[in-house]
């Protein structure tokens, strides 16, 4: 019998794209293959057209396209508990590694879940560093590359303006990252990209191609300095004070907050709440599977969510709505009352001004001063975005979502997320991604004790979080009678680092049978690599699941075994070295039942009957438990 295996590959982007194409043009996909002639006909092209077309091309573009679709084999993310803060409760992430590799590792379980991306990539000024995108290279290769920085092979290379591939090198770095990043955006997601005049025109054309020109909203012009600097030829005396921030969405029609036209149509408020005419909105959602979050099951107006449900809003938001009289019990169910003033942005356009002045949103110098202040010493960063600038972008996207910054640098975005959450009782989460680029022995950051940018970024988040916590606690100590205390926002983060795989994926022959010639004297060394840990094996398996974020809960089911883990209250990963009937009985009795069980092949030894019975028994339990309306998961093996 062929048992389902946990796949070694994380992404199969081509196959995913073919499936999407089949949904739109079923006649163009036959037996899983694209019929390009039929596809042309679906697009109204019934005869050959000239091959020349309007697009941006450069040396290496085809390779950049291929790189965006390549999987990352034998790489994973290892959990670094010692660097993490409040790991048991936080929903924030900090990931060290090459950002293209990280984006690909996240693509499966974060597909379509990121509402906002903000990046501040290298501007490609003369001497800037660009990524070589060779995730694993030899020491000799690393020595050859000018400006190579990273010992693990995630090399950076100086991009000299004298090179005839100066712009091409930068485009080859940016293109695949933006392609993969688009997959992570929600359908109403937006990406903001800071840039300057050196690559603005190229970046605009690349984004038009990747996101579609129809999904371009325009630019924000940020007054990045109050002191004009020379731009272009000194002969003409051109000076500049601003930098653009490009705005694109995954689907412009799904982002009403940025639409410049008025929204037509009447909004109906047929009910009467405490404050007048309103409409009521259910604030419960299913708590099945990975959506099960005990922290979202508290009392609102004295009631808990109904059986099998959890609240969609956080406790701080609930307390605020109670105070404002905007939650009510309707037909026995707690609902949120929506009043006309709450939906003004749906009735008329809410302006999002394109000019961000230095007076209101700070400058690069402001950002530098903020960084040096929180670190307690100068750390040598001259081009830092201000907290108020990032807060403005965050504020416009709402109060509850995840923001990704994969050029996180000194972690201004994380700082801004925590600061804004503390001010407006928001529940925004962040994912920061940064290459551990060395700061250089002669730099201020190195002298301050930070050998690479990741060390600096993580410490900034820790210090900023503690400062926010102290400010909230101080304010709570001064409360007047009747005032509600503020709850400290999420100031923690889990740290992960790119690494080689922990799992020996290739121990099976062409028939799928265990290759005993590769076995060593212990089952652990047969299945896993030297230096592995169970927690990293579990996380590596989770990278291959859907809707299993790295911030999910992780617990050891000690009542079953010392190496049996429940991830996100939904996925059971059993790494016990031996499977017994008694253990399977315990698993089958779990309530609620996990949506997927994952075992080691080697743990069944040569007992094929037990393996077959385990598979059939648990699979039938899952299918019976999931019902017809839910997706059926299964049992898999590694």
Q: pLDDT class for 257, splitting at 50, 70, 90?
A: low
And the tokens for 373? 């202040």
Angle between helices 453-476 and 364-375 (to 10 degrees): 80
> Is the predicted pLDDT of residue 279 greater than 90, yes or no?
no
Share of the chain above pLDDT 70, in %: 82
> Is the predicted pLDDT of residue 466 greater than 90, yes or no?
yes
Report pTM.
0.79
Higher pLDDT, 595 or 163: 595
Task: List pLDDT tens digits, range 287-298.
Answer: 765 556 778 889
And the tokens for 238? 């051109």
For the ranges 445-449, 466-470, 580-584, 625-629, which has the lowest average pLDDT? 625-629
Angle between helices 412-424 and 364-375 (to 10 degrees): 80
CA distance linking residue 170 with residue 19, whole number of Å:
32
> Is the predicted pLDDT of residue 495 greater than 90, yes or no?
yes
Total Cβ atoms within 10 A of residue 592: 13
Q: pLDDT class for 263, splitting at 50, 70, 90?
A: very low
- Cβ atoms 264, 292 nearer than 8 A: no
- Cβ atoms 356, 329 nearer than 8 A: no
For the ranges 166-180, 222-236, 431-445, 586-600, which has the lowest average pLDDT? 222-236
DSSP states of 321-384? HHHHT-EEEETTEEEEEE-GGGGHHHHS-----SEE-HHHH--HHHHHHHHHHHHTS-----S-
For the ranges 24-33, 377-386, 541-550, which has the lowest average pLDDT? 24-33
> Is the predicted pLDDT of residue 567 greater than 60, yes or no?
yes
> Is the predicted pLDDT of residue 530 greater than 60, yes or no?
yes
- Cβ atoms 529, 504 nearer than 8 A: yes
Phi–psi pair at 303, nearest 5 degrees: -120, 140
- Cβ atoms 77, 543 nearer than 8 A: yes
Higher pLDDT, 400 or 290: 400
Length of the chain (residues): 638
* 320 three-class SS: helix
pLDDT value of residue 240: 80
CA distance linking residue 503 with residue 5, whole number of Å:
13
The runs of H, that is alpha helices, within 166-314 are 166-184, 200-207
Phi–psi pair at 34, nearest 5 degrees: -85, 125
Share of the chain above pLDDT 90, in %: 57
> Is the predicted pLDDT of residue 98 greater than 70, yes or no?
yes
Phi–psi pair at 15, nearest 5 degrees: -65, -40
For the ranges 18-27, 268-277, 328-337, 441-450, which has the lowest average pLDDT? 268-277
CA distance linking residue 515 with residue 550, whole number of Å:
32
> In whole numbers, what is the pLDDT of the chain averaged over residues?
85
For the ranges 423-427, 523-527, 630-634, which has the lowest average pLDDT? 630-634
pLDDT value of residue 570: 92
Higher pLDDT, 350 or 470: 470
pLDDT value of residue 18: 85
pLDDT value of residue 207: 96
**Domain residue ranges in the chain:** 13-68, 69-260+349-476, 271-347, 521-637
Dmax of the chain from CA atoms? Answer: 84
Task: Please name every residue paired with 245 in a beta bridge, in sequence order, or none if there are none.
Answer: 194, 220
Phi–psi pair at 295, nearest 5 degrees: -65, -15
pLDDT value of residue 36: 86
| CA dihedral over 130, 202, 233, 383, signed as positive or negative | negative
Q: How many CA atoms lie within 13 A of 464 on its CB side?
A: 29
For the ranges 123-137, 420-434, 564-578, 595-609, which has the lowest average pLDDT? 123-137
Can you tell me the mean pLDDT for 68-85? 95
Q: CA 428 → CA 115, 283, 399, distances in Å?
A: 10, 18, 6
Higher pLDDT, 216 or 344: 216
pLDDT value of residue 144: 43
Task: List pLDDT tens digits, range 29-69.
Answer: 877 788 888 788 677 775 555 566 778 899 889 999 999 99
Instruction: Classify domain 69-260+349-476 at the CATH topology level.
Output: Rossmann fold (3.40.50)
Can you tell me the mean pLDDT for 437-457? 94
Task: Please name every residue paired with 114 in a beta bridge, in sequence order, or none if there are none.
Answer: 185
For the ranges 197-201, 487-491, 512-516, which has the lowest average pLDDT? 512-516
pLDDT value of residue 519: 53
Give the DSSP letter of residue 83: G
Task: List pLDDT tens digits, range 311-345.
Answer: 988 888 999 999 889 999 988 899 998 887 776 55
Can you tell me the mean pLDDT for 523-537? 94
Task: List pLDDT tens digits, range 343-381.
Answer: 655 544 445 567 888 988 999 999 999 999 999 999 999
Q: pLDDT class for 264, splitting at 50, 70, 90?
A: very low
pLDDT value of residue 338: 85
- Cβ atoms 221, 242 nearer than 8 A: yes
For the ranges 360-369, 442-451, 510-519, which has the lowest average pLDDT? 510-519
Angle between helices 61-69 and 166-184 (to 10 degrees): 30
Give Cα 494 to chain centroid, integer Å. 13
Q: Which residue has the tokens 């959990």?
A: 79
> Is the predicted pLDDT of residue 152 greater than 50, yes or no?
no
Higher pLDDT, 5 or 138: 5
pLDDT value of residue 163: 58
């Amino acid at each position: 019998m062929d048992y389902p295996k946990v796949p070694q590959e994380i992404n199969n982007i081509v196959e995913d794209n073919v499936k999407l194409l089949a949904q739109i043009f079923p006649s163009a996909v036959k037996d899983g293959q694209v019929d390009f002639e039929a596809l042309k006909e679906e697009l109204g092209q019934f005869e050959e057209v000239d091959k020349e077309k309007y697009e941006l091309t450069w040396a290496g573009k085809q390779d950049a396209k291929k790189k965006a679709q390549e999987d990352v084999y034998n790489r994973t993310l290892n959990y670094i508990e010692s660097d993490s803060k409040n790991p048991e409760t936080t929903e924030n992430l900090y990931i060290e590694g090459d950002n293209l590799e990280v984006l690909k590792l996240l693509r499966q379980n974060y597909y379509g879940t990121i509402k906002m991306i903000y990046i501040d990539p290298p501007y490609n000024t003369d001497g800037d560093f660009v990524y070589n995108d060779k995730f694993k290279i030899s020491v000799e290769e690393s020595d050859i590359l000018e400006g190579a920085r990273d010992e693990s092979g995630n090399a950076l290379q100086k991009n000299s303006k004298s090179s005839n591939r100066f712009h091409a090198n930068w485009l080859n770095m940016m293109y695949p990252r933006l392609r993969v990043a688009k997959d992570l955006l929600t359908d109403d997601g937006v990406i903001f990209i800071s840039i300057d005049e050196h690559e603005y025109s190229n970046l605009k054309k690349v984004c038009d191609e990747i996101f579609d020109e129809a999904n371009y909203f325009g630019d924000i012009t940020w007054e990045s300095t109050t002191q004009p600097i020379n731009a272009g030829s000194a002969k003409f005396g051109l000076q500049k004070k601003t930098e653009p921030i490009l705005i694109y969405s995954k689907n412009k029609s799904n982002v009403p907050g940025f639409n410049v036209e008025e929204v037509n149509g009447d909004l109906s408020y047929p009910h009467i709440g405490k404050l007048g005419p309103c409409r009521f909105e259910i604030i419960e959602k299913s708590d099945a599977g990975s959506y099960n979050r005990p922290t979202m099951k508290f009392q609102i107006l004295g009631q808990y969510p109904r059986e099998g449900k959890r609240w969609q809003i956080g406790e701080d938001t609930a307390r605020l709505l109670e105070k404002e009289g905007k939650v009510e019990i309707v037909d026995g169910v707690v609902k949120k009352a929506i009043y006309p003033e709450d939906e003004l942005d749906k009735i008329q356009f809410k302006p999002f001004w394109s000019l961000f002045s230095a007076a209101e949103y700070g400058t690069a110098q402001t950002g530098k001063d903020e960084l040096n202040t929180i670190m307690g010493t100068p750390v040598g960063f001259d081009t830092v975005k201000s907290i108020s600038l990032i807060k403005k972008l965050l504020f416009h996207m709402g109060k509850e979502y995840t923001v990704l910054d994969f050029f996180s640098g000194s972690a201004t975005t994380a700082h801004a997320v925590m600061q804004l959450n503390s001010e407006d009782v928001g529940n925004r989460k962040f994912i920061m991604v940064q290459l551990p680029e060395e700061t250089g022995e002669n730099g201020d950051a190195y002298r301050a004790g930070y050998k690479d940018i990741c060390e600096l970024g993580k410490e900034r988040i820790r210090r900023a979080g503690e400062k926010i916590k102290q400010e909230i606690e101080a304010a709570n100590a001064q409360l007047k009678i009747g005032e509600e205390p503020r709850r400290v926002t999420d100031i923690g983060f889990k740290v992960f680092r790119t690494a080689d795989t922990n799992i020996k994926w290739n121990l099976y022959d062409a028939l799928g049978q265990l290759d005993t010639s590769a076995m060593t004297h212990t089952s652990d060394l047969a299945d896993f690599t030297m230096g592995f840990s169970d927690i990293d094996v579990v996380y590596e398996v989770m990278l291959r699941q859907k809707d299993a974020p790295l911030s999910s809960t992780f617990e050891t089911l000690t009542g079953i075994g010392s190496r049996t883990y429940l991830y996100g209250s939904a996925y059971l990963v059993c790494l016990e070295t031996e499977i017994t009937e008694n253990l399977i009985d315990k698993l089958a009795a779990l309530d609620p039942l996990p949506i997927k069980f994952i075992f080691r092949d080697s743990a069944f030894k040569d007992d094929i009957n037990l393996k077959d019975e385990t598979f059939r028994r648990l699979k039938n339990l899952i299918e019976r438990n999931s019902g017809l309306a839910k997706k059926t998961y299964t049992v898999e093996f590694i």
